[in-house]
Amino acid sequence: MSETNTITSTLPGQREQARMLELFWHPVCTATELAAVAPQPLAVTLLGRRLAVARTESGAVVALSDRCPHRSAKLSVGWVDGEEVRCAYHGWTFRGDGRCTSIPAMPDGPIPERANIAGFEVEERYGLVWVRLDASAETSIPAHPAHEREARDPGSIKILVGEPYTWPTAAPRRVENFVDLSHFAWVHAGTLGRRDEPVPPMPTIGRTGGELRFTFDPPEMTVEETALFGHSEYRMPMPLTVSIEFFLGTGAYRHLWMTACPVDMGSCRSFWTVSRDDDLDGDDASHMEFQALVLREDEPVVCNQDPPELVLEPGFEVSVKTDKVSIEYRRWLSQLVAAAAEGGPAVRQVLDSVMTAPR
Q: Are 278 and 20 in contact (CB under 8 A)?
A: no
Task: Establish if 78 belongs to a structural domain.
Answer: yes
Last residue of a domain, which of 132, 161, 193? 132
Give residue 358's pLDDT.
Answer: 54
Predicted pLDDT at 218: 83
pLDDT at 1: 36
pLDDT of residue 6: 60
Q: How far apart are CA 181 and CA 131, in angstroms?
A: 31
Q: What is the pLDDT of residue 2?
A: 39
Q: Indicate if 75 and 152 belong to the same structural domain.
A: no
Looking at the structure, tell me whether residues 81 and 122 fall in a common domain: yes
| Res 208: pLDDT | 93
DSSP 307: S
**What pLDDT is stored for residue 230 in this prediction?**
84
Give the start-end residues of each E strand in 169-295.
Answer: 206-208, 211-216, 231-237, 241-247, 253-264, 267-276
Q: Are residues 193 and 325 in the same domain?
A: yes
Domain count, the chain: 2
Tell me if 359 is assigned to some domain.
no
Residues of the chain with pLDDT under 50: 1-4
Q: Given 132, 156, 181, which residue is the final one in a domain?
A: 132
Residue 338 and residue 242 share a domain: yes
- 207 domain residue, yes or no: yes
CATH number at residue 111: 2.102.10.10
Domain of 178, CATH number, reads 3.90.380.10
For 133, residues 6+ apart whose C-beta sits below 8 A from its C-beta are 22, 23, 46, 47, 49, 120
Distance (Å, whole) CA 277 – CA 287:
12
Last-in-domain residue among 76, 100, 132: 132
- What confidence score (pLDDT) does residue 219 get? 79
Global pTM? 0.94
- 138 lies in some domain: no
Give residue 4's pLDDT.
45
CA angle 310, 124, 31 (to 5 degrees): 90
DSSP annotation of 316 reads: S
Which spans in 112-264 are helix H?
Answer: 145-152, 171-178, 184-187
Is 18 a domain residue?
no
Same domain, 95 and 154: no
For residue 257, what are the domain limits?
Answer: 145-351
- Indicate whether 301 and 177 sit together in one domain: yes
Whole-number pLDDT of residue 359: 58
Shared domain check, 149 and 39 = no
Q: What pLDDT was estimated at residue 5?
A: 53
